Amino acid sequence: MSDSPNLRSPDSPDMDFNDQSDFELSEYLKIDEWLGDDPASMVHGAPANYFYQSNEADDSIGSSSNPEGPSRHAEGGKEKKEVKERFAFKTKSEIEILDDGFKWRKYGKKMVKNSPNPRNYYRCSVEGCPVKKRVERDRDDPRYVITTYEGIHNHQGPF
């Protein structure tokens, strides 16, 4: 998923592609371990210790036999609470809907207090994909977009 040979950008009608080229060759600033809700708590001196945790041990799709239900009481309830891999990218782009080769469906928008900008919540359109995406604009630089990916795609792609 690091490099998507298929760069599809059907949108961006009036967007200068200058930023896109830049974003492509300039790479993104990696903000690993970015768990800062609090700016004061945010460690800017965080080393690049982003690790890839492949927990393929988890059952694939169809494991959730409980599609819906107010009382989601799983018997036993000993679900592993392992943290999902979080990947944060700071991209210099005015576009927030950067297409990375996957279909995303917006499922929520929220306004953060520390930012005058709203935060968008996206999710993979593919069923069985636990991958979630969080898009937020930078507070200091509105021209920058912070994209946070969570989880791993259990499918090759939209195809």
Partner DNA sequence: CGAGTTTGACCGGCGC
Partner DNA sequence: GCGCCGGTCAAACTCG
Quick one: which of 29, 157, 158, 40 has its CA closest to 87?
29
* CB distance 101 to 157 below 8 Å: yes
Up-side HSE of residue 39: CA atoms within 13 Å toward CB?
Answer: 7
The answer to whether residue 121 forms part of the interface with DNA (CB under 7 A) is yes
Which x/- pattern over 59-98 shows residues binding DNA (rule: CB under 7 A)? Answer: ---------x------------------------------
Beta carbon of residue 115, minimum distance to DNA (angstroms, whole number):
8
* CB distance 119 to 135 below 8 Å: yes
Quick one: which of 109, 111, 147, 113 has its CA closest to 131?
147
Out of 132, 139, 153, 155, the only residue in the binding site for DNA (CB under 7 A) is 132
The answer to whether residue 8 forms part of the interface with DNA (CB under 7 A) is no
Beta carbon of residue 25, minimum distance to DNA (angstroms, whole number):
27
User: Given the rule CB under 7 A, which residues bind DNA?
Assistant: 37, 68, 103-110, 112-114, 119, 121, 123, 125, 132, 134
